[in-house]
Amino acid sequence: MVATDRAERRSTDEHGHDIIDPLYVAVVTVSSSRAAETDPDDPGGDTIEEIFEDHGHEVRVRELVRDDYATIRTAVRSLVARRDVDVVVTTGGTGVTADDVSPEATSALFERELPGFGELFRSLSWEEVGTRAMASRATAGIAADTPVFCLPGSTGACTTACEELIVPEAPHLAGLATSHQQDATDQSLSAYEE
């Protein structure tokens, strides 16, 4: 049963912080050109999946959507509503062209922003690509108790973000974002047992 599945994966780390491990992940690739192809190549999405799975997590969903505000927002909104998704990662659409709308489409769903993610990502990117890092609008936040990360489409950016930031911290973020659900479940069970 999915509802108890998250509870079975919930524990604490060495510092006593709530974590969910392994994570169930959804990856959304944003690309109008790839979405139009019958057999699209998806190096960014493949990179994200490989890194998460190399660290023992499971990619449950892969979606490919076009660069369109409503389409991106609808895809992410449906994913954060799923009980079998702990984290959503989008790749593509974070630049400065007119059709780069992933940050706007996803941040409209955020109840809480994680500004530190974008700051740290651009800092790491500075070391790799110099001043071009300022063009990245990578962002993150919590939507429907689910961490959501918006990454650029390049494999280098996906690798840096996932290996250096997301994979190390996402189990903790997912645990914190859903800890109130656990408290409510514990209280319900206690009331039932009395």
- Mean per-residue pLDDT over the chain, rounded: 90
What are residue 140's DSSP bridge partners? 149
pLDDT over 90 for what percent of the chain? 76
Q: What is the pTM of this model?
A: 0.90
90 pLDDT above the threshold of 50 = yes
Each residue's pLDDT tens digit, 43-68: 999 999 999 999 999 999 999 999 99
Each residue's pLDDT tens digit, 158-167: 999 999 999 9
Band the pLDDT of 3: cuts 50, 70, 90: very low
| Residue 157 near residue 125 (C-beta atoms within 8 A) | yes
Coil/strand/helix, residue 174: helix
What are residue 142's DSSP bridge partners? 112, 147
Average pLDDT over residues 155-178: 96
Domains, the chain, with CATH or none? 2-187 (3.40.980.10)
Average pLDDT over residues 161-187: 85
- Distances in whole angstroms, Cα of residue 85 to Cα of each of 89, 146, 147, 148: 11, 8, 10, 11
Each residue's pLDDT tens digit, 4-31: 488 899 998 888 889 999 999 999 999 9
Dihedral sign of CA atoms 17, 18, 23, 24 in order: negative
Cis peptide before 22 (omega within 30 of 0): yes
| Residue 90 near residue 54 (C-beta atoms within 8 A) | no
183 pLDDT above the threshold of 60 = no
Cβ-based neighbours of 134, under 8 Å, separated by 6 or more:
122
pLDDT attached to residue 35: 73
190 pLDDT above the threshold of 70 = no
pLDDT attached to residue 144: 97
Q: What is the dihedral of CA 107, 112, 11, 17, to 10 degrees?
A: 130
Q: Return d(Cα 189, Cα 194) in angstroms, integer.
A: 9
